[in-house]
Structure 1
Amino acid sequence: MAEPIIELKGVSKSFGSNLVLDRVDLTIYKGEALAIIGPSGTGKSTILRLIAGLLAPDEGEIYVKGQMREGLIEDKADPIGIGMVFQQAALFDSLTVEENVGFFLYQHSRLSRQRIRELVNRSLEMVGLPGIGDRYPAELSGGMRKRVSFARAIISNPDNPKDRSEVLLYDEPTAGLDPIASTVIEDLIRQLQCLTGVCNTYAIVTHQDSTIRRTADRIIFLYQGKLQWEGTVDDINKTDHPMVRQFFSGKVEGPIQVIG
């Protein structure tokens, strides 16, 4: 049986009077590709930020490789690295691609600038962007910026293996991209999962049908703060679950309430 690598037990999270997550139980297993789907505003990105240690739950517990996390990631390091790729790439406009990808190593390692540059180039090659280290984010297309953010998420310090991300979290990685650029990103997500020395476990939040079908092994459906359904890509077309049917058909009528 696969090893649990991330576990959420009875996790709740509110923002003001808005209950976003309501006693959620969730397990991510080593080596799997998990898609978290559901309508907008149902807490999907919140789950990723809780897993990454950027938010703390109001109730419940989060375990990382069997160890319960206390506080935020800045309070105490997890036993494994967890990398996150944000929806808008979150690159520093004033820094070059090289400086963006190598930012963590420049700030938190004793590696020479030349060694960091070599590691940055290797990461850029992994995401299919060799030779662009001297460019700025404004000079790149949306798809290229996404791939640069992937390179930043997978880079690690060879002198400190604990820095290597064993889990990657993708927040809407194909949002705003055309179908061809989306396919490039979807293929890249799967390719990175298969590379030696790169983490092979990930969770992805997405609304895009092709991204769900091409990047997920297991799918969970989130609505009104609770996990409503779980299945595989093959189950999408077989299930009679009314929320899943409505979500993938795009119909207004159904159990999912349309806001606005």
Structure 2
Amino acid sequence: MTDPIIELKGISKTFGNNKVLDNIDLTIYQGDALGIIGPSGTGKSTILRIIAGLTAPDSGEIYIQGVRRKGLIEDGADAIGIGMVFQQAALFDSLTVEENVGFLLYQHSKLSKRRIRDLVNHRLEMVGLGGIGERYPSELSGGMRKRVSFARAIMANPDRPQDSAEVLLYDEPTAGLDPIASTVIEDLIRELNSIQGGCGTYAIVTHQDSTIRRTADKLVFLYQGKVQWQGSINEVDTTDHPLIRQFMSGSIKGPIQVVG
């Protein structure tokens, strides 16, 4: 097997008195479609933020293409680009769709407005939203806002191809969406995984059964701050692991403690 492009070694993170990650090891390889699952409050989103360089662990090491990261992403560029799609899309309400998708280019490139507009339109077409650049987020449905956030995450600067996202991190991308809108997003995640200009490697945090089954090839199950199980999506229905059996069935009876 080739070397991992992202590797977490002994990662721990505590918020107040709550130790959400406890000596976690995690590897992501080129081409992975990795699902990170588990009950609420078990550190899944925290892992994504640590991978993205937005949150620092209390202890442990992070390697990006074999190079150890020192500090947060703002402290130095990683060996590869890592994009993140947030649960609530995290768009700027006062900016148009075009300005949201092209935000980094407008702020940090010397490209002309016309060139940026063309690049933005191309990315919007990739996510099935061509021609909506002049709208504001408040004029879009929840599913459309999600897709705009995807377009922003894969936005590339042709003058700095090294900054283009080679890995995408999705935090609950179908949360709050109806089943049809969820299917559109799930299909888009897979499409962006394979098309030119998309992103060939991703990790996704989700609780939704259809999203787990339709977007992930490999799964990591977190509970009580630790990786309790990992395997392929095909194994999730055949494993006898009690945590997986309870989680996937939604049963209140089992080793997972039901809060409230």
Q: TM-score, normalised by structure 1?
A: 0.99
Deviations 1:20-68 (A, max 9, x none): 1000000000111000000000000000000000011111100001000
Aligned to 1:51: 51
The one-letter code matched in structure 1 to 2:99 is E
Q: Are residues 1:198 and 2:206 paired? A: no
2:99 matched residue in structure 1: 99
Gaps of 5+ in 2: none
Alignment of 1:131-210 (within 5 A): 131-210=131-210
Matches within 5 A, 1:1-260: 1-260=1-260
Q: What's the secondary structure of 2:75's corresponding residue?
A: coil
Distance (whole Å) between structure 1 residues aligned to residue 163 and residue 198 of structure 2: 12
Tell me how far apart the structure 1 counterparts of residues 203 and 14 of structure 2 sit (CA, whole Å): 22
* Secondary structure of the corresponding residue to residue 129 of structure 1: coil
Does the residue aligned with 2:74 lie in a helix, a strand or coil?
A: coil
Query: How many angstroms does 1:159 deviate by?
Result: 0.8
Tell me by how many angstroms 1:196 deviates: 1.4
Work out the CA distance in 2 between the residues paired with 1:126 and 1:3. Answer: 30
Secondary structure class of the residue paired with 2:73: coil
Unaligned runs of 5+ in 1: none
The TM-score, its normalising length taken from structure 2, stands at 0.99
User: For residues 199 and 99 of structure 2, what CA distance do their matches in structure 1 show?
Assistant: 22
Distance in 2 separating the partners of 1:48 and 1:147:
19
Equivalent position amino acid for 1:11 in 2: I
| Structure 1 CA distance for aligned equivalents of residues 146 and 196 of structure 2 | 21
Moved more, 219-228 or 230-239: 230-239
Q: 1:232 offset after TM fit, Å?
A: 1.1
Kindly provide the amino acid, as one letter, of the partner of residue 211 in structure 2: T
Residues 196-248 of structure 1, C-alpha deviation per residue, up to 9 Å, x if partnerless? 13220000000000000000010000000000001111111101100000001
Question: Partners of 1:244 and 1:225 in 2: how far apart?
Answer: 16
The letter for the 1-side match of 2:111 is L
Number of positions where the alignment pairs a residue of Structure 1 with one of Structure 2: 260
